[in-house]
Amino acid sequence: MTKLLESCPNCGGAFEIREIHCRQCGTEIRSHYDPCPFCRLTVEQSNFLELFIQARGNMRTLEQILSVSYPTVRSRIDAIATRLREGRPDAAAMVAAAQANAGASAPVVDSADAT
C-alpha cells in the first residue's frame, strides 16, 4: 500500500484532504479532512507498531524479535507516541487523564511477564 504524503514536497507545509472518491459508484465527497494521526508515522514506525501489536505489547518479545535492548524498544515507543501527539491540542490533556486513571486502577500483568 502506498503511504499517504505527510507534507508538501514543494514547501513542506501540512496537507489537508479535501476530496474522497468511491471507486465503485463514483460518489465524491468534498470537505476538509486532516489525515489520521497514524498517517504521520514513518514506514519504520508503522512496521514497529505492527510488531508491537503482534507481540501484544510484550517488550521482551520485541527485544528478541528486533535483537535490540529494552531502552531501544522504549525509545521507539516514545518516538511513536510523540509523533502521534503532534498537532493535537488535546493530546496533553489525554495523556494526563490516562496517567491519572492508570494510577487509580490495578496493574495488568501479562502472563508471559509473570515468570
Per-residue pLDDT of the chain (115 residues; tens, 9 = 90+): 566 676 788 888 877 778 888 999 999 988 887 777 887 888 899 999 999 999 998 999 999 999 999 999 999 999 999 888 876 666 666 667 777 776 654 444 444 444 4
Contact indicator for 38, 84 with CB cutoff of 8 Å: yes
Q: Is the pTM here over 0.75, yes or no?
A: no
Find the helix packing angle between 70-85 and 59-66, rounded to 10°.
110
Query: Which letter, b or e, does each residue of 79-90 get, where b requires 16 or more Cβ atoms within 10 Å of its Cβ?
Result: ebeeebbeeeee
Among 49, 47, 44, 36, CA closest to 88:
36
